[in-house]
Chain A
């Protein structure tokens, strides 16, 4: 009743395996080719996240702008007007806005990617696709949000510049893509580390929320680095977000006090964190279904 199966199309017998499943891959094998094969999936995940997030909200994507705007206003009142923290002579509003949108993007990347395993346990337990597609798509979908917020920042920047405020955008603005990439790498790296550890230790889910909050205050978001005595700056330089925020302000507002070696240190630490995150994630993803 069954017709004879097709002739072997590959020509070569036995050697044309497309997939080989082994217990553990060496730690340096990232299977990036596999990831590339699933690039359409990344794109569709990004689309899904964007649609799903603001569907059935009245203001829709306007929230992209309202969130950092209100945060900045609160910072301006509390840290600027009440606490009177100096802002390197810059208009307080612009100073806080720059910090807020940078920090916002990083925090969002970290929060979202740190939930990768727990939030997708159901789907991961049913079908295989490279797990890294999920955190990568999150980071990309938040880039769009960042771009909209950045556009708003530019509008305010132009307005203040036209009003004659002491802001000095310079050639450093060309480094913006690098700054964004650094934030994305750092966010995804930290997020992957946390998500890998949360499969074992659920405590970390609770830590991430306020941990990110505390981290913000350890980063020159609501104060300029120039307020920190020179001898303590090395500790701030160890925090890669310092180089991101200071770099952004240096480029667009013309005020920053981080020296070049410290920038490099920040970038280096970012790369290390990102690398460790991916290695950990790759180890965990193979068997996390058994432990969760």
Chain B
């Protein structure tokens, strides 16, 4: 069978922190100080590396080699920062690799660039042509598919209206219609970056299946193990920029799931986190003694320990964090938001941990994704997804009726009421 894509020893290096200082005079100042053997006044703080030779780099990919056969769906899984998105960025030629080579047969397109280059002042039809050309189609190609695109989008008689007057639904449908008619030989789908709309994601997945049946190649990056298992022929597990496991979906997906459930005890690689105002180091379900608990009981208590690292100046900012529980069917079952009061901020050390306690975990047995995120002044500064295995609880039936929570409404995103409380561990020395 023909190879559609071949990657040889691909590596990508990112320079961390500031590349230069963004202002010419600062670069000149640094250069002048180095020249006189003095310490660079512009060395960023909190880097851990000081003085000379402080070129801090981070390898997002460290020598990845693989080849994808034509007409197959290739899944790529891995933790945050494993290099999945970097790989797709290089294949789609948005950025160049540092080392290595990618050979491609045919056109590459990705479903994440829906609506790129749409101009509000242009009409729907004009935007279809422009967007098509940006994605690599010639005018003649767009023309031959124009009626199909308009039909598919359902925009109909509004096609001659500037898109700024479209509803957001029409806008996305039209944009998606153009992308869907591109007919690339290799389709890249990065579900991690896809916008949250569940209906839209479903459409993307449907398109993927269709595309692969037409004999095209699909590269599918996802956190959604169920989708990977059902859609992909072959799965590649990336870890720390390298291929950890490569094989049929039935083998790799369960192995990954197992590892994710056990991984909890390991710290997160701090290299790329340096310089963040606030980040999670480790998030674990624990028992009453504070020991790691690989699985929790449905309807039982859940205690989640969130280890963090932050900078002292974070205290003067507006902080809130949230933990979202979900799975592939319901991306957000419920969440536990927490806004810092002044007193909480005062107790914030540079390193420490939080505890989130749910006396009654309202989840049926299964594997759930637990997404923790922290926002400072409304901006998401860190997110940390982890997995939680919830198992059957035989005692639940006999349990005391008073265990079933009587709750207050918390968090407007929840469909049902969840009892939870947050606390900052004061006694633990950082």
Q: Chain A: residues with CB nearer than 8 A to chain B?
A: 2-3, 5-6, 8, 10, 13-14, 16-24, 38, 40-41, 43-45, 47-48, 51-52, 55-56, 122-129, 200-204, 286-287, 289-291
Contact = CB atoms under 8 A, between A and B. Distances in A.
A273 B104 CA distance: 34
A123 B116 contact: yes
A243 to B, nearest CB: 30
A51 B122 contact: yes
B101 A200 contact: no
Interface string B13-26: 01100011011110
Given A5-B71, A201-B22, A17 B104 contact: yes
A17 B105 contact: yes
A18 B2 contact: no
B396 interface: no
A113 to B, nearest CB: 18
A291 B13 CA distance: 12
* Chain B: number of interface residues, binned into ranges: 35 or more
A52 B129 CA distance: 15
Q: Which of B91, B94, B102 has the most CB of A within 10 A?
A: B94
B27 to A, nearest CB: 8
B99 A125 contact: no
Contact of B94 (A14, A52, A125): A125
A128 B110 CA distance: 10
Nearest to A197: B24
B23 A18 contact: no
Given A23-B98, A48-B126, A201 B116 contact: no
Contacts of A52: 119, 121-122
A21 B106 contact: no
A222 to B, nearest CB: 31
B133 A19 contact: no
Nearest to A125: B94
17 contacts: A5-B1, A5-B71, A8-B70, A19-B93, A19-B104, A21-B93, A21-B96, A22-B96, A40-B139, A52-B121, A52-B122, A127-B94, A127-B134, A128-B92, A200-B19, A201-B27, A287-B96
Contact of A287 (B1, B95, B119, B134): B95
Nearest to B69: A5
Contacts of B102: 19-21
Given A127-B134, A200-B20, A23 B94 contact: no
Nearest to B104: A19
A51 B104 CA distance: 36
A43 to B, nearest CB: 8
A21 B97 contact: yes
Nearest to A16: B105
B254 interface: no
A202 B93 contact: no
A239 to B, nearest CB: 23
A3 B212 CA distance: 10
B138 A40 contact: yes
B136 interface: yes
B201 interface: no
Given A5-B215, A287-B95, A10 B2 contact: yes
B360 to A, nearest CB: 42
A196 to B, nearest CB: 13
A166 B229 CA distance: 84
B71 A200 contact: no
Contacts of A202: 22-23
Nearest to A43: B139
Interface string B76-95: 00000000000001111111
A6 B215 contact: yes
Contacts, number: 132
Given A18-B105, A48-B126, 7 more contacts: A18-B104, A20-B103, A21-B104, A51-B121, A52-B119, A200-B20, A289-B89
Given A10-B2, A23-B97, A52-B119, A2 B22 contact: no
Contact of A124 (B2, B6, B94, B103): B94
Contacts of A290: 14-15, 95
B255 to A, nearest CB: 24
A289 B94 contact: yes
Contacts of B92: 127-128
Contact of B121 (A56, A124, A289): A56
A181 B116 CA distance: 31
Contacts of A47: 126, 130
A47 B123 CA distance: 12
A123 B117 contact: yes
A29 to B, nearest CB: 13
Contacts of A23: 96-100
Nearest to A55: B121
A16 B185 CA distance: 13
B309 interface: no
Contacts of A127: 92, 94, 110, 113, 116-117, 134-135
A13 B67 CA distance: 14
B265 interface: no
A287 B121 CA distance: 31
A6 B106 CA distance: 15
A280 to B, nearest CB: 15
B3 interface: yes
Contacts of A125: 94
A48 B130 contact: yes
A200 B113 CA distance: 26
Contacts of B89: 289
A125 B93 CA distance: 10
B104 A203 contact: no
A56 B162 CA distance: 12
Contacts of A18: 104-107
A41 B134 contact: yes
B276 interface: no
Contacts of A8: 1-2, 70
Contacts of B20: 200-201
4 residue pairs, one from A and one from B, having the closest CB atoms: A5-B71, A128-B93, A286-B96, A41-B133
